[in-house]
Amino acid sequence: MSVQLDEVKELKTAVVTVIIRNELHLPILGSALLTLTLTLYDQRSGALINRPLRQNILGITTPSPLRINGGLIDETGELDLRLEPDDNPILGTSRVETHVLFLEWTWMDDGVVKYGGEELLLPVTNFSKLPV
């Protein structure tokens, strides 16, 4: 199931906040994560946007904050993901286009590596198509 995010403006910085959860929908502690990656692409064309496939974003808040490729996760499982202007371009000619932020993560639970993921849909406004 996809999560619809608030609309952002093209070529502007945006911050996305999401809770990383396990299969029971409980938050995963940031320190329990083994991996956390982002694939950012255009929903219509499937073209990757400004980042490689499955880019590492596992930044941590303890013992001191360390943001990795825009990502920072805390011990409550809250991911703060900063998208830079180059992450929010318009690729087509629509007034609004949808970009997909596909998050994938792994964590250890009772000695077993588990996998999770979530698809976030980010509408991006095309300034050149806005009414004057």
Q: What is the CATH number of the domain that holds 97?
A: 2.60.40
- How many helices (H) and strands (E) in the chain? 0, 9
Residue 17: which residues within 8 A CB-CB, separation 6 or more?
78, 79, 80, 81
C-alpha to C-alpha distance for 33 and 84, rounded to whole angstroms: 24
pLDDT of residue 60: 76
**Percent of the chain beyond pLDDT 70?**
95
Give one word for 128, left, alpha or beta, with left for phi > 0 and alpha for psi -120 to 50: alpha
Q: Exposed, middle or buried, 38 (CB in 10 Å: 0-12/13-18/19+)? A: buried
* 119 has a pLDDT exceeding 90: yes
Are 103 and 37 in contact, with CB atoms under 8 Å apart? yes
pLDDT in tens, 8-64: 999 999 999 999 999 999 999 998 999 999 999 999 999 999 999 999 999 877 666
**Percent of the chain beyond pLDDT 90?**
82
* 116 has a pLDDT exceeding 80: yes
C-alpha to C-alpha distance for 82 and 15, rounded to whole angstroms: 5
pLDDT band at 130 (very low <50, low <70, confident <90, very high): low
Indicate the number of domains in the chain: 1
Domain limits at 96? 2-129
